[in-house]
């Protein structure tokens, strides 16, 4: 289901883009990405993620997830999404939920997926109905919702 996955990852990145915080190396990576310098962007985000920058971890996770600028590696993507999600970044929470729901990069766990969908939804008022609709459709049978 690559096309649906790409759409969900893009949605997640869109949620993150609305943040107002400046993140130093994250911003340098974003500038590099916009210039078409995928290697430079990923290098900036890698360094920033190692220091705990949630937005850099999300951006780098998406690169590993989609195989853009980095080799596709769902395990690494899930770890980076978790790093950012544990800091409360809604887009990362959503992307991690998708990983748990699909079993990509982590052992499939729809209850865990529902928990992360809910966390994301509780933080993002403008996307709440979309995320809850996805969680209901994708986390079938989970009792956590």
| Sequence-ordered list of residues with C-beta below 8 angstroms from that of 87, at least 6 positions apart, any chain | 52, 54
Over residues 38-89, the pLDDT tens digits come to 999 999 999 999 999 999 999 999 999 999 999 999 999 999 999 999 999 9
Residue with tokens 């990923």: 42
Task: Give residue-wise pLDDT tens across range 107-139.
Answer: 999 999 999 999 998 877 655 566 666 766 666
Contacts of the segment 78-82: beta carbons below 8 A, 24+ positions apart: 78/104, 78/105, 78/106, 79/105, 80/49, 81/57
Could you tell me the fold of the domain covering 2-138? Answer: 1.25.40
Q: Is residue 36 left, alpha or beta, with left meaning phi > 0 and alpha meaning psi from -120 to 50?
A: left
Taking alpha carbons only, the member of 122, 111, 100 closest to residue 145 is 111
**What is the SS3 assignment for 46?**
helix
Domain spans, the chain: 2-138
Question: What's the whole-number mean pLDDT along residues 90-107?
Answer: 96
User: Do residues 91 and 58 lie in contact, with contact meaning Cβ atoms separated by under 8 Å?
Assistant: yes
Residues 6+ apart with CB under 8 A from 62: 9, 12, 13, 68, 77, 95
Q: Which residue did the predictor score with more confidence, 61 or 22?
A: 61
């Amino acid at each position: 289901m690559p096309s649906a996955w790409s759409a969900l990852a893009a949605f997640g990145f869109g949620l993150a883009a609305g943040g107002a915080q400046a993140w130093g190396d994250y911003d340098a990576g974003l500038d590099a990405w916009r210039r078409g310098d995928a290697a430079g962007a990923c290098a900036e985000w890698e360094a920033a993620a190692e220091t705990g920058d949630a937005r850099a971890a999300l951006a780098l996770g998406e690169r590993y997830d989609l195989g853009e600028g980095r080799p596709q590696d769902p395990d690494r993507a899930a770890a980076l999404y978790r790093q950012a999600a544990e800091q409360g970044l809604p887009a990362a929470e959503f992307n991690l939920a998708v990983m748990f729901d699909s079993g990509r990069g982590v052992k499939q766990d729809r209850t865990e997926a529902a928990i992360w969908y809910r966390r994301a939804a509780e933080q993002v008022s403008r996307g709440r109905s979309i995320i809850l609709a996805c969680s209901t459709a994708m986390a079938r049978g989970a009792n956590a919702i």
